[in-house]
């Protein structure tokens, strides 16, 4: 509580003329509250600055105790009197704190209290100078708040390492993200040189200093480089370095933000490896198809030449093995398509009942070669569907092949088809070796196979069921496997959405030979492939000429005028695409049919031949009956 002192106005100090001028100067100062206190702390003078800052007029302030400017808690603990005692003991005391104005508002003030003594050292009173620092404090608090928010933000970032280096490259701050990314705690890394975050090789090469120098020259740098964790393991990172300077341009240090790119790099490496593997598989498939073509052609020639029973048996064996090998080559390509997600459908209206019957009939010889009985339980009405005929046939064939492989000789395989709730439901059941619970969970994964004997008599790559699942899913369907357990057989179920149309049955007969002979030019640099195909075509009544390269093919075409050109793409020198372009440019060959026969069979290869003007794209080894039907 402020106490009035009635005689306070009577207290005065001796003053000369100069002192009077100084008094008037002090009284007119407006930026500082300057006033006098008697030895007990009562106000004896009051300037305009005090009136502006405190809100009291001189009449209201003079004679009252200066404690009226303090907050109640400060008065309660005797702080106003403590300030006077310290000023008396030290001659001068300076403090900052909250002070109260007339209207009750609090200001943050800088206060200087000076003891005034006479020549004999007797205390005459105190001078008090007060400066209002409220605005400065508000700015300082706002700055501290921004700094604290920034600190919390930086500390809260966990997926990026954010830290400071001083001008000498020593670590001065370390956030939680840096601890997660690098594995160093702040206690371990603070005070160490930032070079500890580099690999041993980069430290030896002087890279830590070089990177800071580059940032100094540019003001900012960002690069993808190797960094090293606390346990010594390297990782790939994006590092952004920003130079920090003060208002005068002097170097204060560097801020660094490090993003761990290990996962992205791992994905990129996998994608690159996958691309290389896909390219290798495509090339391997091409190289395997080339020798298969003349072998299959030779088998067809033997079949048509009416040889001895032994020769017929040998041709039959070779033919089956060539078909098996060709299927393995197709599986290799399908592995590549699955891993790259490049399986594409050519959907059209189809009748699933007929498709399943034809696919099962095509596999009946394979199933019977294992000594199995194949039973079909198909409906007597059409099952309309929209889908890719070739791929859905592949589903049936793969399921039948799988059942035949994993059923002991003399087994029973049943293929059934029915319609249920808008879905076509295809089931392939067997009484084979069955599936264990763990195998049921992974049977559709790539390269997963059941228990195999050492001789691998069943063969295969473990990709067939993976293809079944992928093809079913692309058609909007699903597939699953069921088995009571090992030794009790298995059932594979495929569901496909039915189409809302009524199919018109079309008679389907076996492929026949050409109805009329054609003039055919075979172009292939593989002599065995071209000569064997030529012999086969001649035996079927066609007139055939052979060319081994593009130049000879163009010359031969001018005199032979072929109706059909069977053209290999991978010719030496001038490739098949260039040969096709030049043949198409000749008016006299405008009606000539171009058919690509090649070891390249991926989707992009088929697109390329279609764009080049080829009528069809056949992959080696070509099915003889299909080729003869196409020529007709």
pLDDT tens for each residue of 39-95: 999 999 999 999 999 999 999 999 999 999 999 999 999 999 999 999 999 999 999
**What is residue 495's predicted lDDT score, i.e. its pLDDT?**
95
Q: For the chain, what percentages of helix, strand and coil (3-state, to nearest 5) are there?
A: 45, 25, 30
Which of 242-246, 276-280, 490-494 has the least mean pLDDT?
276-280
The three-state secondary structure class of 405 is: helix
Which of 280-289, 370-379, 384-393, 425-434 has the least mean pLDDT?
280-289
**What is residue 331's predicted lDDT score, i.e. its pLDDT?**
67
Superfamily of domain 283-339+512-632, CATH level 4: Response regulator (3.40.50.2300)
pLDDT at 121 over 50: yes
| Mean per-residue pLDDT of the chain | 84
pLDDT above 90 covers a percentage of the chain that reads 51
Answer whether 287's CB lies under 8 Å from 295's CB.
Answer: no
Mean pLDDT along residues 112-136: 93
pLDDT at 339 over 70: no
266-275's contacts with Cβ under 8 Å and 24+ in sequence apart are: 274/339, 274/340, 275/340
- Pairing relationship of beta strands 412-420 and 373-377 according to DSSP bridges: parallel
Mean pLDDT along residues 516-524: 91
pLDDT at 128 over 60: yes
**What is residue 467's predicted lDDT score, i.e. its pLDDT?**
85
Rounded distance, CA 401 to CA 417, Å? 18
Check if 6-132 and 139-260 are the same fold. Answer: yes
pLDDT at 475 over 70: yes
pLDDT at 505 over 50: no
**What is residue 568's predicted lDDT score, i.e. its pLDDT?**
92
CATH 1.10.10.10: does it fit domain 6-132? no
CATH topology of domain 139-260: Beta-Lactamase (3.30.450)
Neighbours of 50 (CB within 10 A): 26
Mean pLDDT along residues 26-31: 74
Query: Which CATH entry fits the domain spanning 343-497: 1.10.10.350, 3.30.110.30, 3.30.565.10, 3.90.580.10?
Result: 3.30.565.10
Please list, in sequence order, all residues whose beta carbon lies within 8 angstroms of the beta carbon of residue 564, skipping any fewer than 6 positions away.
518, 519, 520, 521, 592, 593, 595, 631
**What is residue 371's predicted lDDT score, i.e. its pLDDT?**
92
**What is residue 7's predicted lDDT score, i.e. its pLDDT?**
52
Answer with the residue of higher pLDDT: 295 or 611: 611
pLDDT at 312 over 90: no
**What is residue 88's predicted lDDT score, i.e. its pLDDT?**
93
With CA atoms as reference, report the closest residue to 566 among 604, 536, 603, 539.
536
Domain boundaries defined on the chain? 6-132, 139-260, 283-339+512-632, 343-497
When pLDDT is cut at 50, 70 and 90, the band that residue 507 belongs to is: very low
**What is residue 197's predicted lDDT score, i.e. its pLDDT?**
95
**What is residue 514's predicted lDDT score, i.e. its pLDDT?**
41
pTM: 0.45
DSSP 254-321: EEEEEEE-HHHHHHHHHHHHHHHHHHHHHHHHHHHHHHHHHHHHHHHHHHHHT--HHHHHHHHHHHHH
pLDDT at 452 over 50: no
């Amino acid at each position: 509580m402020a106490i009035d002192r009635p005689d306070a106005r009577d207290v005065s100090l001796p003053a000369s003329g100069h002192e009077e001028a100084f008094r008037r100067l002090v009284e007119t100062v407006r930026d500082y509250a300057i006033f006098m206190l008697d030895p007990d702390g009562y106000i004896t003078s009051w300037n305009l600055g005090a009136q502006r800052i405190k809100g009291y007029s001189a009449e209201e302030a003079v004679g009252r105790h200066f404690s009226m400017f303090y907050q109640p808690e400060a008065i309660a603990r005797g702080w106003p009197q403590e300030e006077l005692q310290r000023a008396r003991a030290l001659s001068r005391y300076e403090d900052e704190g909250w002070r109260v104005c007339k209207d009750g508002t609090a200001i943050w003030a800088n206060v200087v209290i000076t003891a005034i003594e006479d020549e004999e050292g007797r205390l005459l009173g105190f001078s008090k100078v007060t400066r209002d620092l409220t605005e400065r404090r508000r700015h300082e608090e706002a700055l501290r708040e921004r700094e604290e928010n920034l600190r919390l933000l930086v500390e809260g970032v966990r997926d990026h390492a954010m830290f400071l280096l001083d001008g000498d490259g020593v670590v001065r701050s370390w956030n939680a993200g840096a601890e997660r990314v690098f594995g160093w705690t702040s206690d371990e890394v603070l005070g160490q040189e930032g070079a500890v975050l580099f690999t041993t090789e980069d430290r030896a090469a002087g890279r830590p200093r070089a990177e800071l120098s580059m940032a100094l020259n540019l003001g900012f740098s960002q690069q993808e480089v190797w960094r090293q964790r606390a346990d010594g393991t390297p990782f790939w990172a994006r590092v952004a370095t920003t130079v920090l300077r003060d208002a005068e341009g002097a170097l204060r240090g560097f801020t660094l933000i490090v993003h761990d790119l290990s996962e992205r790099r791992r994905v990129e490496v996998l994608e690159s490896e996958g691309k290389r593997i896909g390219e290798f598989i495509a090339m391997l498939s091409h190289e395997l198809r080339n020798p298969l073509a003349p072998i299959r052609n030779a088998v067809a020639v033997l079949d048509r030449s009416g040889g001895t029973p032994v020769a017929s048996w040998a041709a039959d064996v070779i033919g089956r093995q060539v078909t098996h090998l060709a299927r393995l080559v197709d599986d290799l390509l399908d592995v590549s398509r699955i891993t790259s997600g490049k399986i594409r459908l050519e959907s059209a209206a189809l009748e699933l009942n007929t498709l399943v019957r034809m696919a099962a009939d095509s596999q009946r010889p394979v199933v019977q070669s294992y000594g199995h009985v194949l039973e079909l339980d198909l409906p007597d009405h059409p099952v309309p569907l929209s889908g890719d005929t070739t791929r859905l046939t592949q589903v049936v064939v793969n399921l039948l092949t799988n059942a035949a492989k994993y059923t002991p000789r003399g087994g029973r395989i049943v293929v059934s088809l029915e319609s249920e709730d808008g879905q076509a439901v295809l089931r392939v059941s067997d009484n084979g070796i069955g599936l264990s619970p763990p195998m049921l969970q992974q049977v559709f994964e790539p390269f997963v196979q059941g228990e195999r004997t050492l001789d691998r008599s069943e063969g295969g790559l473990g990709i067939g069921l993976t293809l079944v699942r992928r093809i079913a899913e692309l058609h909007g369907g699903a597939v699953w496997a069921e088995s009571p357990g090992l030794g009790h057989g298995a059932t594979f179920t495929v569901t496909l959405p039915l189409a809302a149309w009524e199919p018109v049955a079309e008679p389907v007969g076996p492929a026949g030979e050409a109805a009329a002979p054609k003039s055919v030019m075979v172009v292939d640099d593989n002599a065995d492939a071209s000569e064997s195909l030529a012999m086969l075509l001649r035996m079927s009544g066609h007139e055939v000429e052979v060319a081994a390269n593009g130049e000879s093919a163009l010359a031969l075409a001018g005199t032979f005028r072929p109706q059909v050109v069977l053209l290999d793409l991978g010719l030496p020198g001038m490739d098949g695409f260039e040969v096709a372009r030049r043949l198409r440019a000749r008016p006299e060959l405008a009606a000539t049919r171009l058919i690509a026969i090649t070891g390249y069979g991926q989707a992009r290869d088929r697109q390329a031949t279609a764009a080049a003007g080829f009528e069809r794209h056949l992959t080696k080894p070509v099915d003889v009956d299909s080729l003869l039907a196409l020529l007709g």
